[in-house]
A and B are shown apart, each in its own frame.
Chain A
Amino acid sequence: MKAVRLLAHHVDEHRLSEVAEGGAGAMLTDAEQRHVAACDRCSLLFEGHRRALHLLSAPWQRVDVPRVSVPFWRRDRVGRWTELAAAAAIALTLAATLLYSRQTGPQTIGVSTSPSASATSVPNASSSPLPTTTPFVTATPWSGLPSATTLLVVPSAMRTNVPLPAGAEVDTATLVADSDWLVMGVSFPDAPTSEALYAANLHTGALRKIRDSSAFDSVPTAISVAGSQAAWADSTCESSWPSPMPTEQAHSLPQVRCSSWRVVLTDLETGTSRVVAQGSNPDAINDPQDQGSAIPIVPTVALGDDALAYTSGDLTHGIELNLLTLSSGATRALPLDGPLEEMSWAGRDLAWVEDTDLQAAGTGPGGYANPYYLDSQLMVLPNGATAAHPIADGAYFLDADTGEIAWDEGGCEMWTASAPGWQPADTGYEGCPAFVSGGWLGWSDAFQNASLAILAPGDSEPRGVPDGVALTGGWLILGSQPGQPTGYLVAPTQLGVVRVSDLK
């Protein structure tokens, strides 16, 4: 009998976690209960989340534990023989990589932008398909979760080093590329400041700081890049702190109030910035997904080809989506039903995640001080349309490229939709955040053998990239961090890139 696996029928992991947490009214529906009772994967995940939450709410203490130095292939507690097999596979991979590098030889263009960086290299134009895709032995109890089972090790000859400021650590959640530019959030371990933004030209090796780090302001959010321009939102916020001071066991809701916000547009070629829009004292909402923390409702920003979208307004008078045509300065505004959590251009169409199901202040667990939203919808505004239409519920980690969007639902289940119909489709892959670029899909492969999994257009088998960080703007971003095992990348101190079109 042929076994057929129904990918879409699992209860999503966020839902399992929510119910395990016992939130207000959180109960499995009858259908979900029946599925969980019959599904080994879901019942174990449910129990795992219940136990994890129980553990996390236990008293935190300082205890001595065995020093952890776990190679990435041991993440799933595989047996000793599997470890040996994995180590052998990696050794073979490295040997093949070395051999390949010696045979092809890098074409060095001799740009070294930092003392620690080696020469920047460009891929050999006549490079043959990568010989380093190596079958990888995996052993996991989660056979129901499809993931990458082959590794892709990108040879150094194909990589272009990304210049970084000395001593910088890169925030892997803030890496956005388009054309020749990569914008990244950077922090310095020995400086008491928040993230700065740097832009690197991947063609010339130029590096430019486009936003200072600051100990006083919030970190920049909603960063997007289009061509040689970048846009982001800056908010100046203050937290009110609990009194008395928090102890190791105390738990109290912080209140965040933002005094000002602005939308910044920067020319990456010249480094000149201008404030496109600004305001003060934005309304705040409580976020039930963040222990009820207060967050400002505006702005959300997305930069596209000759178009900048940003939100403004308040809860009393309404929130608006402003669509600014950069070349002409023309602006049109669309009313929104709720604040936007994320927004991204998919070519000339615009996609966003909009909060829905508004609840009044004073309700919610413990009585939130601000209004809050219980749900959200993924919306698409086709080019030239006057109204957006919903295509999915509860999306997050939205990413978009021309004619395609990708997002996560529930337990990091990746979905995609393509123009013009924008019909949601379950990819069957799990991992977050989701990336989409030039027909390639990518996702953080937190549970398997690599930092990132990628799927080429037309391929059915994803490949794990051990030092993969992100897929953005047609580039595969690779990173390394001294002392950190491959696959456990946290804050890379070295970055490299390769065009995804060179990987096929």
Chain B
Amino acid sequence: MDAISATPEALDYFDAAYSKLFDELCVLCRALGAPDEAEDIAQEALLYGRAHLRDLRDERNLRPWLRRIAARGAAAARRRRLPSLDGTETSYVPVDPEMRLDCSEAVARLPERERLAMALVYGLGYGQEEAAQVLGVARGTVAASLWKARQKLARELAPATRKELER
């Protein structure tokens, strides 16, 4: 497949889609644990993408390519972040007000790859293939991460059931 060579038409398409792409990448970065840096990362990803548009062989890959760039930026931001003084961290987790148990911690405690896979698939509604592209891993890795995470959550939440039954 030939490169699209950053033609004026391609640049026009890119610029027209800028606002939507920016919003989507911000959402992605927040889900990937970089809420404070999301807008900067999204803008950097788009600037990088526009500057390197000639490298893109197929314009249909534009969005996954930008997502991947943004995901890398979010990962770098997570690594750079200093621990907060109050001992907390902002995490993208499901919040169910009906559950008496505080489940946010259970999700936040999952290993990073499992937590990110869950955030993408359950939080953002990505398919496993999409999540795999964003995380740069095989689809099977995402599937295994999701299953392991669900197993762990089930085991975290089951003891609460036992306590309720014993009550």
Q: Which residues of A contact B (CB under 8 A)?
A: 13, 17, 44-45, 47-49, 51-68, 70, 77, 141-142, 171-174, 185, 187, 189-195, 215-216, 218-221, 236-241, 244-254, 256, 259, 289-291, 293, 295, 397, 411-412, 432-433, 444, 446-447, 484, 488-491
Contacts and interface: CB of A to CB of B under 8 A. Distances in A.
Contacts of A190: 72, 76
B133 interface: yes
A244 B24 CA distance: 10
Contacts of A236: 1
Interface of B: 1, 20, 23-24, 27, 30-31, 35, 45, 48, 56-58, 60-61, 63-65, 68-69, 72, 75-76, 79, 83-84, 87-96, 99, 103-105, 107-109, 111-113, 118-119, 121-130, 132-133, 136-141, 143-144, 147-148, 150-162
Given A48-B153, A70-B109, A444-B148, 20 more contacts: A45-B154, A51-B161, A52-B150, A55-B99, A56-B122, A58-B96, A64-B88, A66-B89, A77-B159, A173-B141, A215-B69, A216-B57, A221-B139, A244-B20, A246-B125, A248-B31, A248-B123, A252-B125, A432-B147, A490-B112
Contact of A48 (B56, B137, B155): B155
Contacts of A192: 45, 48, 65, 68-69, 72
Contacts of A64: 88-91
CB-CB nearest 9 A-B residue pairs = A48-B158, A48-B154, A251-B125, A58-B96, A192-B69, A60-B123, A52-B153, A293-B127, A173-B141
Nearest to A237: B129
Given A52-B157, A62-B90, A221 B128 contact: no
Contact of A216 (B58, B87, B139): B58
B162 A44 contact: yes
Contacts of A57: 94, 122
Contacts of A249: 125
Q: Is the interface of B mostly helix, strand, loop or mixed?
A: helix
A446 B24 contact: no
A67 B136 contact: no
Contact of B129 (A44, A61, A62, A293): A293
A47 B95 contact: no
B59 to A, nearest CB: 10
Given A63-B90, A173-B137, A173-B140, A142 B155 contact: yes
B153 A65 contact: no
A444 B141 CA distance: 13
